[in-house]
Structure 1
Amino acid sequence: MNYFNYKRRLSSETRIGNIPMGGSNPIRVQSMTNTNTNDTEASAEQVIRIVEAGADYVRLTAQGVREAENLRNIKEIVRERGYDTPLIADIHFNPRAAEAAARIVEKVRINPGNFVDRVKTFQTFEYTDEEYVQEIEKIRAKLIPLLNICKEHHTAIRIGVNHGSLSDRIMSRYGDTPEGMVESCMEFLHICTKENFRDIVISMKTSNTVVMSQAVRLLIVRMEKEGLNFPLHLGVTEAGDGEDGRIKSAVGIGSLLADGIGDTIRVSLSEDPEFEIPVAKKLVAYIKERENHPEIIAEASGKFSPFSTDRRETYTVGNIGGDNLPVVISDRSQGNFELNSHFLPDYIYVGKELPIAAPRAIPSIIDIDGWKAEKNTYPLFNKSNWEGIKGNNAAIKFLQLSYPELDNDIISLLKADTSIVIILTANHLNGVGEQRAFIHTLMNNDCNTPVIPCRQYQENEDEDLQIKAATDFGTLYLDGFGNGIMLQNEGNISLKNIDAYMFGILQASRIRTSKTEYISCPSCGRTLFDLQTTVAHVKAATSHLKHLKIGVMGCIVNGPGEMADADYGYVGAEKGKISLYKKKNLIEKNIASEEAVERLVQLIKDNGDWAEPEK
């Protein structure tokens, strides 16, 4: 992998109806219906809406054989209406449903965690080597008949690994880890390749962007060692809705796309599925802009590993670097000092001088020519005046640089003066690659200066800024780089929103928490309640609990597993019934849905995690 220059990973091509994936084909986008698959008309209508929004593929759940068989009726309506977009069946727990669907649709998704293995129990089981081999043989016995049907009907398969539904068997040997996800996939992949079945797509999904990135990268290395290069489906499960869902998806998916990884994507939002497609298309288009960019010449550091979660080691300057949380710098150089009390920046950049209206409680960064050493202010230097740093005794000295401005004299200065913090800009078409090159160069020179990435945009739509900034910053943060964030935008987006997005990007990258995190699924035909309305009700009751992660899951398939990272969970148990979880533990079962939010609040109170909202 070239960390600095964008180039797509060359995968093998997989046939999926009339729209192949991988190889030299463009990155495909897709979504999934949330209708009851037995409701033929509603499902067909939603498929068409998703297609008209621009999807290359549409997925539908098939819980049982009845739903799988009804895919034929849905497909007939869609085809009669003039749409030939490939349809995909989503299968969990039911090989018979997969076999039925494979005779009808163009692709079948199976989950290695529950295709044969029992429902996840979170119990620890011990398997001897012989018992483990016997379990693999059980998989073979169930999978080979499906492969034979797929061969006969030219149906592709997605091996869709979910972090939240790894089997107890995998967990017993590999734990709840990216390595376990890879092993779960490879068990199925080995059977497929041995049976000479190669119309395969692979996904490694989780709601944790760090785990997702690690799992995908580990899988690629594992496949390469075995001479395999199947196409990859990218997605962040249970990303949520609104800005949180968009930012989290862009961090997870965008960071991999930025490295040329990924052949199809699905942005999973807790919204109507057709709303996912424009977001996915914007994300793909933004990555595509950097194709054939001017080459960035840099040497990768041997200290860096794309598989590690370790942060780059830096010294501490004030509250920046070292073990400190990454800081947020808000650009207020245009004189607007209206702040969002929920997302107060750690520093504000005020430009050439300190305005009277600037809040004195928040540290200000001022261009060196106008800096007067006032209390709680810090100077900003750049390449044209950097030598002035040597005679300056401010406690923190900010130095704005880009990669082309980094030379031996600057590196010598940085190694000699441990009161400097870099604000790292980029003007290259592949700004991520250029900023990576800067940090790798510091690492190669044993330079531990803290670095705050800064990017400039010209966006008038909030969604566009969320997607682009989350992709660019998230890529660096998942690398373990960056001691803060500074997002600048010339456009009609409020500075209060921009501050919120910076905090949101840090949280989605899992390096600083500033608000309640909701792990909510995008809804599908398995969902047992109105997900969008329920998420809104849960948020209304708990959004002030900034120290908590709360899962809102439509059904049991991934619910408890994906919520293992959450503090509390709200899961559909059956029609009109909800189960409540504390971490992985089921606390209350089959609560009437109209009482469930109130009971969730009480559960939080009973465990001492409740705080009254500020008035």
Structure 2
Amino acid sequence: MNYFNYSRRQANEVYVGATPMGGAYPIRIQSMTNTVTMDTEACVEQAKRIIEAGGEYVRLTTQGVREAENLQHINASLRAQGYQTPLVADVHFNPKVAEVAALYAEKVRINPGNYVDAARTFKQLEYTDEEYAKEIQKIRDRFIPFLNICKENHTAIRIGVNHGSLSDRIMSRYGDTPEGMVESCMEFLRICVEQDFMNVVISIKASNTVIMVRTVRLLVEQMEKENMAFPLHLGVTEAGDGEDGRIKSALGIGALLCDGLGDTIRVSLSEAPEAEIPVARKLVDYVLKREGHPYIPATEAPEFNYTHPSRRETVAVGNIGGDQLPVVISARLNNDLEVSEQFKPDYLYCGQRLPENRR
């Protein structure tokens, strides 16, 4: 009988400023500022709070060339104050912005869905093979010069696919599916490999945790088929705040971390950015505690119930136990909340209404 231990997927090493990731490096934790990128002082102060909370990368939105150029001042101010944490530029729609950002940030995130392809218009949902090939060539023409700038400046990139921003071209062949998200990413990765540019991180996100988990697993499977091992950035898009945001992130990110996937994570909460860091740290620390624990696949040890636990046998009492479905019992503790007499917990026992003398 073979025993297996939890182990992390072996990914390429990627150099992001002074904080490399992938390979044997720790799972990195990051957050994103919500300040205006042209406000240098506000960005620097918020970045410092993220870093002091434990953030290892700080991402900033860069809507235009002016914002991309201002990264130079934000970066310089942080370095002057002794902070060496890498900055990541978040770019959409404009390849020129990505090219400028690559001069001043340690990593640039681009979205394949709108880097070259037009934003979704739903006007052209059918492409001939020739039209499709021309669009791929258009990607090459715009993407390769950007890779050359990144090579010259030792800038890493993140290819960040979002479920909600697939292009009309991808939608025409694959629909709004995990397969479409994977192909949108692979188109860019194949160019990176062809150009011998390996300083690449990948994210493939959705607000639906089921889609997010399935798509990342599908992407890893496809990369293995094509002999790629790029590191993964994990996150659930717009998870929310409070318990809901934390639970949603734990489900999506946690499931993949348990698979051994993930080299950097961001928990996306609609709260102060520094509040994301302890949540991410707790997820990573919890999963890493499983390292070294024995695991026996059910296919190799059918006599054990490690992966398929069975329900304990009990005697039925009323409508509880035996072969019946579990019963949920709720206690109403708010005296101001009116509850129908038939649903008051102290009037019910095993689904049966108690007689007056036993209430």
Q: Same fold (TM over 0.5)?
A: yes
Amino acid at match of 1:240: G
Q: What are the residue-to-residue correspondences of 1:321-400 with 2, within 5 Å?
A: 329=328, 337-338=331-332, 358-361=345-348, 363=350, 375=352
Residue by residue over 1:500-550, the C-alpha shift from the partner in whole angstroms, topping out at 9 and shown as x without a partner, is xxxxxxxxxxxxxxxxxxxxxxxxxxxxxxxxxxxxxxxxxxxxxxxxxxx
- Indicate if the aligned counterparts of 1:3 and 1:259 stay in contact, CA closer than 8 A: no
Look up the SS of the partner of 1:204 in the other structure.
strand
| 1:57 equivalent in alignment to 2:57 | yes
| Counterpart for residue 145 of structure 1 | 145
Give the aligned partner of residue 38 of structure 1: 38
Equivalent pair of 1:234/1:262 in contact (CA under 8 Å): yes
Report the residue type matching 2:17 in the other structure: G
Counterpart code for 2:28: R
Q: 1:359 to 1:24 in 2, by over 3 A?
A: farther
Residue of structure 2 in register with 1:163 after alignment? 163
Give secondary structure in 1 for the equivalent of 2:104: coil
1:221 paired with 2:221, answer yes
Contact 1:238/1:268, CA 8 A, preserved across alignment: yes
- SS for the counterpart of 2:147 is helix
Residue 295 of structure 1 deviates from its aligned partner by 3.8
Deviations 1:373-432 (A, max 9, x none): xx389xxxxxxxxxxxxxxxxxxxxxxxxxxxxxxxxxxxxxxxxxxxxxxxxxxxxxxx
Aligned partner of 1:92 in structure 2 is: 92
Question: What's the TM-score, normalizing by structure 2?
Answer: 0.85
Determine helix, strand or coil for the equivalent of 1:22: coil
Alpha-carbon distance in structure 1 between the residues aligned to 2:26 and 2:69: 31
Counterpart check, 1:266 vs 2:278: no
> Does the residue aligned with 2:117 lie in a helix, a strand or coil?
coil
Shift of 1:49: 0.7
Task: Tell me how far apart the structure 2 counterparts of residues 238 and 376 of structure 1 sit (CA, whole Å).
Answer: 45
- Summarize deviations over 1:453-474 as a string: whole Å, max 9, x none: xxxxxxxxxxxxxxxxxxxxxx
Instruction: Give the 3 Å change call, closer, same or farther, for CA 127–78 of structure 1 in structure 2.
Output: same
Q: In proportion to residue count, which structure has more strand?
A: 1
Computed over aligned residues only, the root mean square deviation of the Cα atoms, in angstroms, reads 2.8
Distance 2:124 2:347 in 1: 55
What is the CA–CA distance in structure 2 between the aligned matches of 1:319 and 1:98, rounded to whole Å? 61
For 1:31, the aligned partner's letter is S
State the Cα distance separating 1:259 from its structure 2 match. 1.1
Between the two proteins, what is the percent identity of the paired residues?
A: 65
CA contact (8 A) 2:163 2:205 kept: yes
CA–CA distance in structure 2, aligned partners of residues 90 and 18 of structure 1? 19
Counterpart in 2 of 1:240?
Answer: 240
Length, aligned pairs only: 328
**What letter corresponds to residue 15 of structure 2 in structure 1?**
R
In structure 2, the CA distance between the partners of 1:9 and 1:3, relative to structure 1 (3 Å rule), is farther
Secondary structure of the residue aligned to 1:203 is strand
Query: Structure 1 residue 4: deviation in Å?
Result: 7.6
Against the structure 1 CA distance between its residues 241 and 319, is the aligned structure 2 distance closer, same or farther, given a 3 Å change threshold?
Answer: farther
Distance 1:26 1:78 in 2: 23
Q: Distance in 2 between matches of 1:60 and 1:131?
A: 35
Query: Following TM superposition, by how much is the alpha carbon of 1:121 offset from its aligned partner in structure 2, in angstroms?
Result: 2.2
CA spacing shift, 1:376–1:142, aligned 2, 3 Å = farther
Which runs of structure 2 are paired with 1:351-500 in the superposition (5 Å)?
358-361=345-348, 363=350, 375=352
Report if aligned partners of 2:58, 2:87 keep a CA contact under 8 Å in 1.
Answer: yes
1:22 is the counterpart of 2:22: yes
8 Å contact 1:3–1:300 — kept in the other structure? no
C-alpha change, 1:226 and 1:81, in structure 2 (3 Å) is same
Change (3 A) 1:120 1:362: farther
Correspondence for 1:188: 188
- Pairing 1:131–2:127 present: no
Deviation, structure 1 residue 124: 4.9
Q: Secondary structure at the match of 1:67?
A: helix
Deviation for aligned residue 1:238: 1.1
CA distance 1:328–1:245, change in 2 (3 Å) = farther
1:291-322 deviation digits (Å, cap 9, x = unpaired):
11134353279xxxxxxxxxxxxxxx9999xx
User: 1:60 and 1:249 mapped to 2: Cα distance?
Assistant: 21
- Assess, with a 3 A threshold, how the Cα gap between structure 1 residues 10 and 327 changes in structure 2: closer, same or farther: farther
CA distance in 2, matches of 1:35, 1:319: 54
Change beyond 3 A, Cα 1:291–1:44: same
Q: Which has the higher contact order (CA 8 A, sep 6+)?
A: 2
Shift of 1:122: 3.8
Contact 1:14 1:198 in 2 (8 A): yes
**Structure 2 unmatched ranges of 5 or more:** 302-315, 336-343, 355-359
Change (3 A) 1:190 1:358: same
Distance 1:102 1:156 in 2: 8
Q: 1:9: Cα distance to partner?
A: 1.0
Inter-CA distance 327–199: structure 2 relative to 1 (3 Å threshold):
farther
